[in-house]
Structure 1
Amino acid sequence: MPHQQRKVAAVQFNPKLNRRNANIKELKGLVREAAEHGADLIVTPEMATTGYHYLDRSAISPYVDTIPGLTTDQFSEIAKEYHTYIVIGMAEVDSETGLYYNSAALVGPDGYIGKYRKIHQWVVENYWSCWGDIGCPVFETEIGNIAMIICQDATYLESARLAAVNGADILCFPTNSSGASISMLQHWAEMNGLYIVSANRSDKEEDFNMIGASAIWAPSGEKIAEAPFTSEDTGDSLSILYGTIGKSDYHNPAKSRMLERRMDAYKELMLFLGPWDYTKNTHSRSIKAATIQYEPIIGDKQANLSKVKKLVREKVEDDVNLIVLPELSLLGPVQTSKKQDIQPFAETDDGPTIQEMKQLAREVKSYIVFGFAEQETPHFYNAAILISPDGEVIGKHRKIHLNEHDDKWATPGNRIFVTPVNGFGRIGMMIGYDATFPEVASVLAVKRADMICIPASWNGEHGVELSMSQQIFPRPYPKGTVSTWDAVAKGAQAYTIVANFIGTSYDFKGRSAIYNLDQNYVHDQTVIASDNQEEVLVNQFQTMKTDWWLDQEKLILTRRTSYYKPLVTKVPPFL
């Protein structure tokens, strides 16, 4: 195999509780098989040596091991014999403190390399395991820089981002998943420019069913390989999943975007606002939202204003209480060569088209999110404002991350705001390209946004259509779901309303959408517009899912802010 290409393997293995020695023996056989088939990296599931469900420290005490220790020694022998790298999911005891951890160990041809301790734990391991205390280290190897996270970690957008910021090329993911954690891996691969190798179980332990679907994802978000979904009726499915990764893809568009991170704007993601947060909304609200998708006439504010008014008046239902329009709603992405060129199109908060939009909000009695070129002498901003049904500007976002169209004229914003609206909810905003930086969604979650509005002018330059097995979900994702925006909704646990353009002038891709918090949650749904038709897309939802396994409150209370510091302080080493 050429040096630039490497074969990787995910071992889908089902350990038995309280059978560590037998588990290790069987697991070694599968790992050896993968090595004999030429795998340069082999990943095993979470807690692969012990099984998962233990009631307390005394129950798991006979089965923990130090790292390095007897377990890593045995797998190191295979790594040395076949010149390969192996990730072992296991229960660790710290030899100095006697504390236990849900860990993953990395061994290679020269023996033990390093470990990761799970930062974000699920309910079961909390009864015996300490939360991880060593951050998200990255280990340099001949096949690339390797990081590890485990299962529940994938629920938090910070986890994979930490691996990327710390310089990882490959993210190894041992898991015992019923679907929620593995459903985010395609998002994190594409947003962070990482290869991800995910090894899951495919059996039932206690009352918990693990669904297989181990997978290998490319930094582009492309699915390289995926094992079959397994249900309770399917039964155990032991398998080894193989895929090929290429070193040439370690440098990719998502990695390049790391150059554009605005760390000063993200500082608030370090805040831990719980459990005593007096700003959060405490009541669920019924929201009926509309996103408006149309083809702009580039630079013609009056023609676009007429189109918007017509769509709102004729196609927005009377009881809609939130309307979102695309980025630079009445302009589109105007081509400019210098800052002064935007002058004829820019206006202040009380400019003429803003006044028209205020009047429209009063007429239809709805909140409106509207994008415009803002002038605040001597600066111009790509901005979005939130207008109340009374016709008042009550919230504003200035685009923080500028794309190639913006940076010729716009000054970047530097703050992330959430607007509390009495009797309605807390509304956050980001604009277009901002959504590719997960730190923005993290700050909006910290500030307890119930809804996130994204005016966009998207032409496919980021994000991919989700392609993981749809058998994972009770209700499959609708066709056209975009990973970037789904990641915002899930990562912040906030309903996300995206408005985009259509049209051939800039190859706009449409797919305006209103994203649910979790596709496993069947009481609300994600809805997606077409990729080429003007339309008003409406969805009704109830904010604050307090009856679900994860909601924003649980997310906030389990964030591990002490380990997120690299996200707001560190320039990735590959830059």
Structure 2
Amino acid sequence: MGRVAVVQAASVPFDAEAATAKTEALIAETAAAGAELVVFPEAFIGGYPKGTTFGTAVGLRTERGRDEFARYFAGAVSLDGPEVQRLEAAAAEHRVFVVIGVIERLGNTLYCTALLISPDSGLVGNHRKLMPTGTERLVWGFGDGSTLDTMDSPLGRIGSVICWENYMPLMRQAMYAKGVQLYCAPTADDRPTWQASMVHVAIEGRVFVYSACQFLTIADFPEDHAIDFEMPNGDVLMRGGSMIVDPTGTVLAGPVFDEETILYADVDLEAKYRSHLDFDAVGHYSRPDVFALTVDTRARDSVSFAGP
């Protein structure tokens, strides 16, 4: 038995230092409330640039758009950078496991990444979003199968599937096969339809689901940052909707909309084991004689150097 926290808050877009400081404070707050695992939203450090066009259309880029991308690039973090080191230190100090969405900078490409941080071992996983959705592909690269990472904890095995990756059935099946018990879903999807998906995942995988979304407004962005479209919820860019679901599909906390909050719920793996009496998607309810899935977990580098 242990306690898990799901953070619903605004990031500090394009400012890795400020976003990291906010994260450190939230780790301390959730640990003080008894949490042993804390889950943050997608792109919490680096920012989710909702409504931003980066000055692009088919066959067209603008200088303003390149300036916007340069600021976004500068606000990203590297895995060996000081921001990640500070997150590792905060996890160790407060004895809490951390799953957090960041914008990762590797070379000249950005990735939407979920970091898995252990209080004992530091950064043990960095899952890069396999399939950026829609125009996210303009500013984020594609992850590969080498980052389908999990980490073990006293609460259970933890894994992360980011936003609309959760709509990829084979991705979910791969994560179930990796033994995920605490299924973390950092997201930017604040629509009511998302909650039904999270309940489905919990029942399908017989997993605890922790869905974390930001509550983000235009005021959270720098004053000179342009939003080129009229947003459907006015000045609110992301409404939240974070929630916690158990392996039977019972909602333990949330969803909460239109405010910053922290959700808490206890996890007891016996509830998962009991639920497998009649269903195991990768075990006794599978049909490997009919269906098979092969997952390529090799790193896909664009350039390989052979020789001394």
* TM-score, structure 2 normalization: 0.75
CA distance in 2, matches of 1:405, 1:300: 22
Change (3 A) 1:497 1:421: same
2:201 paired with 1:488: yes
Match of 1:312 in 2: 27
Q: Within 5 A, what are the aligned runs for 1:142-153?
A: none
Report how far residue 501 of structure 1 moved: 0.4
What whole-Å deviation, never above 9, does each CA across 1:407-442 have from its counterpart, x for those lacking one?
Answer: 112111122624242644222111112112232211
CA distance in 1, matches of 2:263, 2:166: 20
Does structure 2 retain, via aligned residues, the 8 Å contact 1:514–1:526? yes
CA distance in 1, matches of 2:100, 2:7: 11
Report how far residue 450 of structure 1 moved: 0.9
2:291 paired with 1:564: yes
Match of 1:131 in 2: none
Two-structure CA RMSD over aligned residues (Å)? 2.7
2:238 paired with 1:508: yes
Match of 2:259 in 1: 533
Helix, strand or coil: the match of 2:209?
strand
Report how far residue 290 of structure 1 moved: 0.5
CA distance in 1, matches of 2:41, 2:6: 8
Match of 2:175 in 1: 444
Report how far residue 535 of structure 1 moved: 1.2
CA distance in 1, matches of 2:108, 2:216: 33
What whole-Å deviation, never above 9, does each CA across 1:273-292 have from its counterpart, x for those lacking one?
Answer: xxxxxxxxxxxxx2311011
Match of 2:97 in 1: 367
Change (3 A) 1:432 1:554: closer
2:247 paired with 1:517: yes
Match of 2:186 in 1: 455
Does structure 1 retain, via aligned residues, the 8 Å contact 2:98–2:117? yes
CA distance in 1, matches of 2:277, 2:237: 37
CA distance in 2, matches of 1:407, 1:487: 27
> What amino acid is aligned across from residue 283 of structure 2 in structure 1?
I
> What amino acid is aligned across from residue 300 of structure 1 in structure 2?
D
Change (3 A) 1:546 1:504: same
Given the alignment, which residue of 398, 404, 407 partners 2:128? 398
Given the alignment, which residue of 236, 260, 274 partners 1:547? 274
Change (3 A) 1:564 1:340: farther
Does structure 2 retain, via aligned residues, the 8 Å contact 1:293–1:536? yes
Helix, strand or coil: the match of 1:393?
strand
CA distance in 1, matches of 2:34, 2:278: 27
Does structure 1 retain, via aligned residues, the 8 Å contact 2:116–2:151? no
Q: Within 5 A, what are the aligned runs for 1:409-488?
A: 409-415=139-145, 417-421=148-152, 423-460=154-191, 464=193, 482-488=195-201
CA distance in 1, matches of 2:30, 2:154: 25
Helix, strand or coil: the match of 1:563?
coil
Change (3 A) 1:459 1:424: closer
Report how far residue 561 of structure 1 moved: 3.2
Helix, strand or coil: the match of 1:375?
strand
Change (3 A) 1:539 1:431: same
2:3 paired with 1:288: yes
Structure 2: any 5+ residue segments left out of the alignment?
55-64, 219-235, 296-308
* TM-score, structure 1 normalization: 0.42
CA distance in 2, matches of 1:405, 1:296: 20
Q: Max radius of gyration: which structure? A: 1
CA distance in 1, matches of 2:142, 2:26: 31
CA distance in 2, matches of 1:395, 1:566: 23
Does structure 2 retain, via aligned residues, the 8 Å contact 1:441–1:491? no
Change (3 A) 1:551 1:375: farther
Report how far residue 550 of structure 1 moved: 3.9
> What amino acid is aligned across from residue 455 of structure 1 in structure 2?
P
Structure 1: any 5+ residue segments left out of the alignment?
1-285, 466-481, 569-575
Report how far residue 538 of structure 1 moved: 0.7
Equivalent residue pairs, number: 261
> What amino acid is aligned across from residue 484 of structure 1 in structure 2?
S
Report how far residue 366 of structure 1 moved: 0.4
Helix, strand or coil: the match of 1:312?
helix
CA distance in 1, matches of 2:275, 2:103: 40
Report how far residue 405 of structure 1 moved: 4.8
Does structure 2 retain, via aligned residues, the 8 Å contact 1:297–1:303? yes
Helix, strand or coil: the match of 1:547?
helix
Helix, strand or coil: the match of 1:507?
strand
CA distance in 2, matches of 1:424, 1:519: 19
Does structure 1 retain, via aligned residues, the 8 Å contact 2:240–2:258? yes
Given the alignment, which residue of 45, 54, 76 partners 1:330? 45
Does structure 2 retain, via aligned residues, the 8 Å contact 1:361–1:387? yes
Counting aligned pairs with the same residue, the percent is 22
Change (3 A) 1:376 1:299: closer
CA distance in 2, matches of 1:555, 1:564: 11
Report how far residue 357 of structure 1 moved: 1.0
Helix, strand or coil: the match of 1:459?
coil
